[in-house]
Amino acid sequence: MSSDASQNNYSEEIKKMVEDIIHITEQLDERYREKAFEILLKHSLEQKSNDFTPKAVTLPPDKASSDNVVESTPHCEPILPINVRAFLQQNSVPEEAIFKLFIIEPEGIAPKFKIVTTRKSEAQIQVALLAALQHSISKQGNKFEFSIEEVRQSCQARGLYDMNNFKANFTNNAKLFKSLADQEHVELSPEGQTELADVIQSVAK
């Protein structure tokens, strides 16, 4: 690829990245937008710069053959989507807490947290909020939302299912959700995201 074409591709990637950041920050409270934009843009540009940094290589002592070149691949934690990082910073939640709750690999994400509360109504809401978090982490641009049926199955698997009050628990906590009309896509309200921040720090202890 020519240098001009490569430069054009890089410029388009930067443009798309900035547009994504603007879209995310517009969803935040106005008083947080400017600071969140600065933080996310700085972090994203640093990551983009790292993408163009050559990997370190270790040559064999005799340098006899280039076939023996071994790439050095230092371990690092996965990069969280920028909307998730904005949420964490807005609510003063350290990123390390996320890695106490989930195993995050290139091929997917899996929960490893344990719900400790013995109150099934409280446990159900914690499972739902953390399911929304998992969905938002799984792909850039995903909303903080969950499927009620998936929460039901998770509660059953964890021994937290209260059949008689399962639906009522959502209704009683309706302020945490934008709407309960679409049970496959229940999105967290601003109050729900604040509650999620508390749940993350509580469960990640």
Torsions phi, psi for 91 (to 5 deg): -105, 15
**Residues 24-42: tens digit of each pLDDT:** 777 776 766 677 777 777 7
The reply to whether the predicted model has a pTM over 0.85 is no
Q: Per-residue pLDDT tens for 140-157?
A: 899 999 999 999 999 999
Whether the CB-CB separation of 142 and 81 falls below 8 Å is answered with: yes
Q: Which residue has the higher pLDDT, 55 or 35?
A: 35
Strands (E), 53-181: 57-58, 70-71, 102-105, 108-111, 145-146
Alpha-carbon separation of residue 117 from 32, 99, 121 (angstroms): 33, 21, 9
More confident residue, 41 or 168: 168
- 98 near 200, Cβ under 8 Å? yes
78 pLDDT exceeds 80? no
The rounded distance, in Å, linking the Cα atoms of 125 and 173 is 8
**How does pLDDT run across 90-124, given as a tens digit for each residue?**
999 999 999 999 999 988 999 999 999 999 999 99
- Residue spans of the domains in the chain: they are 1-76, 78-203
**Fold that domain 78-203 belongs to in CATH:** Arc Repressor Mutant, subunit A (1.10.10)
